[in-house]
Amino acid sequence: MEITGRITADATIHKVNSDKQVVNFSIAINDSYKPKNSTEPREIVTNIDCSYWLNAKTAEWLKKGALVQLFGRIGLSVYNSSDGKALGRLTFHTNSLKILVFAKKVQENNNSGASSNIVQEKEPSDIPF
């Protein structure tokens, strides 16, 4: 299966056992539809938790705002909340990934002299590899 979306937060690396590492990140997929008997489109955002086991060094490129294309299989985690409610979460077990647009953090001064982080897109052809 193939999915494409934007990374919602910088990827994290978690150690499993003593020798395995997994890269965890989440993507958002935007979609819209027009309900029957309505002129206004409805926007839908689906968040999917992703894991990538093949190369932990990939995490340094998986930053918030990057657009990624993922190949793998989808899963569903079902659990009960503390109040007994049944909940579910989509997961995606990534076999291969392609970064379509990199995210680049840039420092910019505003009128008060304080700095803020702004995410700007960087084309893949600008990356040295």
Residue 93, pLDDT score: 96
pLDDT for 31-64, tens place per residue?
999 989 888 999 999 999 999 999 999 999 999 9
Q: Which of 17, 9, 16, 28 is nearest to 92 (CA)?
A: 28
pLDDT, tens digit (0-9, with 9 covering 90-100), for 62-99: 999 999 999 999 999 899 999 999 998 889 999 999 99
Q: Whole-model pTM?
A: 0.73
Closest CA to 90 of 31, 51, 44, 49: 49
Q: How confident is the model at residue 123 (pLDDT cuts 50, 70, 90)?
A: low
Which stretch of 10-14, 85-89, 125-129 has the lowest confidence by average pLDDT? Answer: 125-129
Q: 2-31+41-100: CATH homologous superfamily?
A: Nucleic acid-binding proteins (2.40.50.140)
Domain boundaries, the chain: 2-31+41-100
11-43 as b/e: b if 16+ CB within 10 A: beeeeeeeeebebbbbbeeeeeeeeeeeeeeee
- pLDDT score at 7: 97
Which pLDDT score, from 0 to 100, does residue 116 have?
42
